[in-house]
Structure 1
Amino acid sequence: MAHKQDGDIETLILALPETAGSALYGMIDVLAAAGRLWQEMVGTEMSGKSFRTRIVSLRKNTFRCGNGIPVHPDVVVRDDPPCDILILPELWLAMDEDLSGRYPELIDWIRAKYRAGAHLYSACSGSVLLAATGLLDGREATSHWAYADLFRTHYPKVRFQAEPNLVFADPGGRIVTAGGASSWHDLALHIIARHLDPEEALRIAKVYLLKWHGEGQLPYASLVRYRPHADSVVRKVQDWLAENFAEPAAVTQAVSRSGIPERSLKRRFGAATGSTLIHYVQNLRIEKAKRILERESCPSEDVAARVGYENPAFFRRLFKRSTGLTPAKYRSMFRPFRQDHHAELAE
């Protein structure tokens, strides 16, 4: 347990059986280093403030969280420990796993902490738990992009944003949600900048080689996700499009092959997939373009033609709108990894 000193910022990080250990201990490590580690490395005076970071849970005894990682809580919810900051890290949840009703005591406690003035921060799927408190109702929030359907289904009052890496739910910044997986890096840097000093956040980023994901989540998100349904006609169209999305007039051909009127198909397609037919085709094409850019060095004009677009300028606009990056920037972001990875496999 971190011992309290004058000027410490009381920080609690919640741990549950569903918690991802990497985010839990990563946040503890980075916040504990703030105001101290850089100063030790370069021989300067320690910062006057620091985070007193403790693990809070529903029970005091040691348990194992996600992937069997052991957790020994410092404090428990029923004792109502004080905090200036409460962090809800990533949870290992299925893409349709709703937390409503699972932790009623914890939900009430989180609400009470917010009413008492605490800042609430969630990383990745931690925002699913935050949504279950109702504190995000009518407010913008983010999480991993793969939880977009879960929010639409179970938390429709939350204005879910899949693109940003950090979303401020309120003007005062007392509720902040972070995007997917390693976005806890961005969240930790934000917390350090907000509660200690922006310069200290930069120093910690240098020490830990943390990268601010200014590009958001769009470059990492899959535009095509399978949504189970029982409409055999729509499934037949999806199967055909999976192989023929680059065909000229793919939408017209799909309607013709469906054997039902265009209006009926579009209505049924939207109900079954949650997407319009044209948007579905565009997503298939952009996903294919991403794979080409990751693996090959051909010009973007050739990429456009291969995925079904005769107008390269239109393709580039659509690609940027879908991924947040131009084709060239997307290639520079992901192509080096592909080259290095394949080179390692070849050795």
Structure 2
Amino acid sequence: MENASTRPLVAGLVALPETAGSALYGMVDVLGSAGSLWNELVGEEAGRQLIEPHVVSPTTEPFRCGNGIPVSPDLSVADDPHCDIVIVPEIWLAPSDALDGRHDDVKRWVRSRYEAGAAVYSACSGAILLASTGLLDGREATSHWGYIDLFRERFPAVRFRPEPNLVIADGEGRLVTAGGTTSWHDLALHIVARHCGPGEAMRIAKVYLLKWHGEGQLPFAALVRRQPHADAAIRRVEEWLTNHFAQSAAVGGAVEASGLAERTLKRRFKAATGVALIDYVQNLRIEEAKRLLEEDAAAVDEIAAEVGYDNAAFFRRLFKRLTGLNPGEYRRMFRPIASA
């Protein structure tokens, strides 16, 4: 029997007659592939499914959604199914349609799942259904720019940001909205990164050739990549730095460990790895800082000191340059969310 740490996370994708089928089934495919598809394609050891997507509707009766695409729901909101993750994909709505008097049972279920601890996500116009639950009141949210008047007039309590290709996390990171017509791409990658790790999000993007928007690839990219080379002295330095990068005089220690003159070491290090020695040290430090931000609740200044920076302001500037996000934004984006 699977325990909470090994079972796939259950993702409930809300499907209504107004739902865009491409977004719905695109997310089913992408999320359901996390943890396993890359391994199969590249011949690695078999992985395991990390997210188990289910289509959730008012009933389990088959129906047709936008453009006549057939939907066979797996779960009914009437049964109050457990979901760790709830997703409202894009829905086809007129710029003045606030879903008044429709799908109240779905709205109640989405709200109850959030109150039970689930993470709730929307893509594009799916934010209109979230807004109608009241969950976005007093929070920042985004959707397609075409709904700016609708949000201003019908949901004035929502701090609406219609910038394209934007992902906004609010509510301690458990309420996330994505804007733009193809924002389900960004949202799917965000969900995989948040719940399965940035590395898995990068693999999924490569498998499906998904285009990155908004914050781009920087927050997901590994800064440290071992390059194959035949320089044994430089390999020793790389190993030494793996364990001592946080030392205040890491470069000096690397010189000593190499047995080479400093100028010679720096020249050979750049030739072998393609990265300057000081940049390699910085990358190791920021990579460890990313891990701590994902896993540790320590203050940013404490993390800066732990990875080797006495000057926290410098650490913040460097972190933003290398990842595209400041440390607080990175933590909100990637800190694991407790399962509902």
TM-score bracket for this pair, using the shorter chain length: 0.5 to 0.7
Deviation for aligned residue 1:197: 1.3
Question: Which ranges in structure 2 are unaligned for 5 or more consecutive residues?
Answer: 217-340
**Residue number in structure 2 paired with 1:168:** 169
Show CA shifts across 1:267-307 (max 9, x none).
xxxxxxxxxxxxxxxxxxxxxxxxxxxxxxxxxxxxxxxxx
What is the one-letter code of the residue matched to 1:155?
F
How many residues matched?
A: 212
**Residue number in structure 1 paired with 2:301:** none
CA RMSD after TM alignment: 1.7
Show CA shifts across 1:302-346 (max 9, x none).
xxxxxxxxxxxxxxxxxxxxxxxxxxxxxxxxxxxxxxxxxxxxx
Q: Does 1:114 align with 2:95?
A: no
Distance in 2, matches of 1:41 and 1:108, equals: 41
Question: Which ranges in structure 1 are unaligned for 5 or more consecutive residues?
Answer: 217-347
Distance in 2, matches of 1:200 and 1:215, equals: 17
**Residue number in structure 1 paired with 2:33:** 33
Identity %: 60
**Residue number in structure 1 paired with 2:183:** 183
Distance in 2, matches of 1:51 and 1:152, equals: 35
**Residue number in structure 1 paired with 2:151:** 151
Q: Give every structure 1 segment of 4 or more consecutive aligned residues whose post-TM-superposition deviation is greater than 2 Å.
A: 45-49
Matches within 5 A, 1:272-311: none
Describe the shift of the 1:142–1:187 C-alpha distance in structure 2 as closer, same or farther (beyond 3 A): same
Deviation for aligned residue 1:214: 2.2
Show CA shifts across 1:226-271 (max 9, x none).
xxxxxxxxxxxxxxxxxxxxxxxxxxxxxxxxxxxxxxxxxxxxxx
Distance in 2, matches of 1:34 and 1:16, equals: 25
After TM superposition, the score normalised by the length of structure 1 is 0.59
Matches within 5 A, 1:45-64: 45-48=45-48, 50-64=50-64
Deviation for aligned residue 1:69: 0.2
Distance in 1, matches of 2:157 and 2:95, equals: 18
Q: Does 1:91 align with 2:86?
A: no
**Could you tell me whether the CA contact under 8 Å between 2:33 and 2:49 is conserved in 1?**
no
Describe the shift of the 1:5–1:118 C-alpha distance in structure 2 as closer, same or farther (beyond 3 A): closer
What is the one-letter code of the residue matched to 2:169?
F
**Residue number in structure 1 paired with 2:19:** 19
Deviation for aligned residue 1:169: 2.1
What is the one-letter code of the residue matched to 1:88?
V
**Residue number in structure 2 paired with 1:212:** 212
What is the one-letter code of the residue matched to 2:10?
E
Distance in 1, matches of 2:72 and 2:18, equals: 15
**Residue number in structure 2 paired with 1:285:** none
Q: Once structures 1 and 2 are overlaid, which stretch shifts more, 18-27 or 95-104?
A: 95-104
What is the one-letter code of the residue matched to 1:26?
G
Deviation for aligned residue 1:49: 5.1
What is the one-letter code of the residue matched to 1:20?
A
Deviation for aligned residue 1:101: 2.4
**Residue number in structure 1 paired with 2:238:** none
Distance in 2, matches of 1:139 and 1:5, equals: 31
**Residue number in structure 2 paired with 1:135:** 135
Distance in 1, matches of 2:57 and 2:111, equals: 16
**Could you tell me whether the CA contact under 8 Å between 2:91 and 2:126 is conserved in 1?**
yes
**Could you tell me whether the CA contact under 8 Å between 1:49 and 1:196 is conserved in 2?**
no
Deviation for aligned residue 1:45: 2.2
What is the one-letter code of the residue matched to 1:147?
Y
**Residue number in structure 1 paired with 2:75:** 75
Distance in 1, matches of 2:111 and 2:208, equals: 33
Which structure would you say has the larger RCO, counting Cα contacts within 8 Å and 6 or more residues apart? 2
